[in-house]
A and B are shown apart, each in its own frame.
Chain A
Amino acid sequence: MPKDIEFSVENGNPVLIENMGNGIDAVIQPVYSRAVIKKGKTKYIKMGDKELTLHPNFNLFLHTKLSNPHYPPEIQAECTLINFTVTEAGLEDQLLSLVVKKERPDLAAMKE
């Protein structure tokens, strides 16, 4: 994994890490905390003993399936936590749109 991330950081590929547990590998800590070193106009991230050029298009997405994960404040401060858990109202909306798609495809087409 560190190799993939190193490559992506330098080449500007987005990285999605799925199914994380309750912590993040300390190796990528400099990446997710965006410990950027500026040298002139170029930005570097020091990961392990390597200094990587940070490509402006690089993006990192972390994902967990845990419904109620407990991430320490350090991680919560460095990353934006987004709760995608479906609420009742949200589920209602989603189901409604599915039903509309099935029953009244014309309306669904109009919406799109």
Chain B
Amino acid sequence: MNPTAGSFIINPRLQRHFFMMAIGFPEQSSLSTIYSAYLNKHFSKFKGTIQEQIGPIIKGTLQLHAEVERSFRKTAQNFHYEFNVRHLTNVFQGLLQAKQEAIVEPDNLVKLWVHEAERIYGDRLVNSAHLATFKGLAAELVSKSFSRFNLKKYFGANAEPLIFAQFVGGLDDRLYDQFANAEALAARLAEALREYNDTNAVMDLVLFEDAMKHVCKISRIISADQGHALLVGVGGSGKQSLTRLSSFICAYTTAGIMISSTYGMGDLKTDLQNFFMKCGVKDEGICFLFTEGQITNERFLVYINDLLSSGEIADLFQAEDVDGIVNNVRPAVKSEGLLDSKDNCWKFFIDRIKKNLHMSLCFSPVGDAFRNRAKKFPALINCTVIDWFHAWPEEALLSVAAKFLVDVEMASDEIRTGIEQFMPYSFKVVGQFSDMIMDQERRAVYTTPKSFLELIKLFKVMQSKKEGDLIASKEKYETGVIKLTETGEVVAKLEDELKIFSVEVEAKKKTADEQAEIVGGEKAKVEAQNAVAEDEAAKCFKIKVEVEAQMASVQGDLDAALPLVEKAMAALAGLKIDDFRMLKALNNPPGDVKDTFTCVLHLLAKVDPGVPVDARGRLKTEKPWPTALSLMKDPKAFLETLNGYKEKIDTDQVPDSNFKAIRPTLSLETFTPENIATKSAAAAGVCDWICNITSYYDVFISVEPKKLAVASAKETLAAANNKKAEVDALVADLNAKLQVLLDQFSVVMKEKNDALAAAEKCEKKMNLAQRLVGALGSELDRWQQSIIDLGEDLKVIIGDVLLASAFVSYVGPFNKSFRDKIIYENFVEFFKVNNIPMSPVANPLGILADEATVAGWNTFGLPPDQVSTENGAILTNSERYSLIIDPQL
């Protein structure tokens, strides 16, 4: 085979060397013989009644084949309408899957046959009209040949699904049996999808009836040996998702290739080698999902073609790789009881590939690409089982819409129904307009189930966003209104409070004032007493000063007299005991000496007990000298007496008369120490003492009145001091009382100030509140209006958003007149008929962009016409990326 292409024309120059032989379609009888051989063998152990049906079935199959061949001609459009022995064989191959456990009655076999025939012939038909034709043929045939089995319910309008599958008893069951009803099928597939989603990236599939049938068809195809599925349908009809689910049901791994910018033949080869190793060596099942988009190089299809047709790709493995594979599978070959030759091993490997590696090819019927590829690579058509995906029926669209919209909150069931129905409706309408624009402008616009799903998605996103926005702004206004009302109340309350406060403050003020008065009175009293006390203190001070002055003068006088005493003392100190002894010796001493000692006796009268005194205390002696001598018996004691005489004077023990008695003697001119010294040294000393002591006495006496004055002054001072102390005590007492009052006063003052502060705060608060109410009072009405408006908007938002999202999803490729027709003549009318709430004036742009945004676009150079603005709105609101058709750019 030509390695660069699958199909080829043999050059006539080459052809001429060969004998040409055309092999036509075999005779009916030959076919009958061939297939009955197979069937008889397979059903030999089945019930007799079942075996009886083999003949009619073979006959029926041949008839059906002929009918189909006649009804569906191969055309350029339907190039795959080619029915040959391969298809006949496929039908019988399907029958050979029959197991005794499942096919217990003849009608089971007939049903299986109808099912298989429908899979082989019906599934490749390109539209529902063809399918209906085929069903008519089959129904006719069944009613003719198998009228005794009640199969009518599987044909005609609202036919029950007739489905055989390997997972009827459970996902792990492998018995090819019929599903009892659609519910059983739905339950089984729901289970499968749940399990799939548990272990894989979640697929949010809606398994409506057609989708379920497709899953059964795909899994039927890929579970057969060398079974490859060719899924043909427009993009987004679910080919890949359903393949994944089917592959999961068949317990295969779904594998694919990942296209990158550098992906080439080598990469494909590597990927295929991996698949081969897994399937052939490790004996794992793989479903190789290959889509049209992945054909970045047409040569990929050479490999695919080989894989489909024979399971073997000529140059996929190098010789050494082949050896490795052979060695790997050798034990398995041996355990099968086969000879482990290289050829056997390789064949074993390829058989495993056929068993385990299944392709699911996803192609789009649109355009020429598919036809061209099929022409070049016939295995795409011939070696695969085709499953043609028709447009989703309206029922399917509706159930998908219902499923996806179930979590969108809607005001009523009527609205929900309306919106659910709008989805398939709008899809249908846009489809019609696509055909129209194709007719009128040769412009290709497609809507696929994918765009339908995108509409639902966009609607949900926009709905939740817009509704959220509206609710949020409504809540804002509501909060504002509530706050304003609350503030009004607060102001009223504050006013009341303020009144109470002012009364309280007044009372507090009064108490404080009273207290202040009392304190003032007390203070005055204390101050008066203080003045008195100060007066007293001043007086005391004055007296004290006087006393101190007097005392100082007395002391001064006395101090002045002290030298006299010292002189006297010095005179005495000069006396010696011997001097006195000498005196004793004198019986009749000179007059001066006598006078001297007489004076001494006078002075010592009443001072020394040795001196005789009369009743008046005067010296009483006739003979002073002997008396004096007796005194001087002990000169030491005598001198001490004289020495201590000053003390006696100072303490007033010496009577004044003593001195009066000696005055006359003292006034004698001879009575001087110098004079007497000539007579007796002792007498001279004594004379000196007498003179001085007398002088001292004189001074002392002269000081006496002063001393008295000082004493009296001291008394006065003491009295004054006492008085002052009294006054001080009084003042202290008053001060203590005053302090208590002051304390009380400060408490009262504090209370007053507190009350004042509270009142002030209250007033401030009230002022602020009043300002707020004053400033926003006018807003209140507007806000309330806004709340009402927003409430209205909220009611219609769902319709507006639906219209806007349909606008974004569908009208982009159309021109202005088509857009208007779609939106205003169809969608809006549908809204009205189905009572979907919407704004009175339909304007999808209003939802999509506000005026400011549009103005912004215009400044950036977007032309201000309607179409451009719409385009801008679509571009910015679409969830999908945009593809801009702008030939004038």
Taking Cβ atoms with an 8 Å cutoff, the residues of A that contact B are: 1-2, 18, 20, 25-27, 29, 31-32, 34, 37, 46-50, 59-87, 89-94, 97, 112
Convert B864-887 into 0s and 1s, putting 1 for each residue whose CB lies closer than 8 angstroms to a CB of A. 111110010011001011111111
A-B contact count (CB 8 A): 191
CB distance from A66 to the nearest CB of B (A): 7
A69–B364 contact, CB under 8 A? no
Contacts of A86 in B (CB 8 A): 863, 867, 888
Contacts of B886 in A (CB 8 A): 63-65, 84-85
Task: Report the bound CA distance from A112 to B234 in whole Å.
Answer: 46
A61–B882 contact, CB under 8 A? yes
B451–A72 contact, CB under 8 A? no
Contacts of B855 in A (CB 8 A): 112
Contacts of A75 in B (CB 8 A): 235, 883
B428 close to A (CB within 8 Å): no
Task: Report the bound CA distance from A107 to B729 in whole Å.
Answer: 101
Given contacts A26-B296, A27-B261, contact A77 B448 (CB under 8 A): yes
A70–B367 contact, CB under 8 A? yes
Given contacts A26-B294, A94-B863, contact A79 B258 (CB under 8 A): no
B859 close to A (CB within 8 Å): yes
Q: Which of A18, A60, A80 contacts B808 (CB 8 A)?
A: A80
Count residues of B near A (Cβ-Cβ below 8 Å). Answer: 60
Given contacts A27-B260, A82-B871, contact A62 B858 (CB under 8 A): no
25 contacts between A and B (CB under 8 A): A18-B889, A26-B259, A48-B261, A50-B260, A61-B881, A62-B881, A64-B885, A65-B889, A73-B236, A73-B447, A74-B364, A75-B235, A76-B448, A77-B234, A77-B447, A77-B450, A77-B451, A78-B450, A80-B812, A80-B880, A83-B813, A85-B885, A85-B886, A87-B867, A94-B865
B293 close to A (CB within 8 Å): yes
Contacts of A62 in B (CB 8 A): 881-884
Convert B224-242 into 0s and 1s, putting 1 for each residue whose CB lies closer than 8 angstroms to a CB of A. 0000000000111000000
Task: Report the bound CA distance from A77 to B449 in whole Å.
Answer: 8
Contacts of A26 in B (CB 8 A): 259, 293-294, 296
Determine chain A's interface SS by DSSP, over half rule.
mixed
B62 close to A (CB within 8 Å): no
B887–A66 contact, CB under 8 A? yes
Determine chain B's interface SS by DSSP, over half rule.
loop
A80–B235 contact, CB under 8 A? no
A74–B260 contact, CB under 8 A? no
B201 close to A (CB within 8 Å): yes
Contacts of A25 in B (CB 8 A): 261
B446 close to A (CB within 8 Å): yes
Taking Cβ atoms with an 8 Å cutoff, the residues of B that contact A are: 201, 234-236, 258-263, 292-294, 296, 364, 366-367, 441-451, 454, 808-809, 812-817, 855, 858-859, 863-868, 871, 874-875, 878, 880-889
Contacts of A77 in B (CB 8 A): 234-236, 446-451, 454
Q: Which residue of A lies closest to B202 (CB)?
A: A38
A81–B812 contact, CB under 8 A? yes
Contacts of B867 in A (CB 8 A): 84, 86-87, 89-90
CB distance from A107 to the nearest CB of B (A): 13
B261–A2 contact, CB under 8 A? yes
Task: Report the bound CA distance from A94 to B458 in whole Å.
Answer: 31
B813–A63 contact, CB under 8 A? no
Q: Which of B236, B448, B449, B885 has the most CB of A within 10 A?
A: B885
Contacts of B858 in A (CB 8 A): 112
CB distance from B470 to the nearest CB of A (A): 24
Q: Which of B236, B367, B809, B866 contacts A80 (CB 8 A)?
A: B809
CB distance from B430 to the nearest CB of A (A): 11
B865–A73 contact, CB under 8 A? no
A34–B880 contact, CB under 8 A? yes
CB distance from B436 to the nearest CB of A (A): 15
A29–B259 contact, CB under 8 A? yes
CB distance from B361 to the nearest CB of A (A): 15
Q: Which of A68, A80, A89 contacts B882 (CB 8 A)?
A: A80
A83–B871 contact, CB under 8 A? yes
Q: Which residue of B lies closest to A61 (CB)?
A: B882
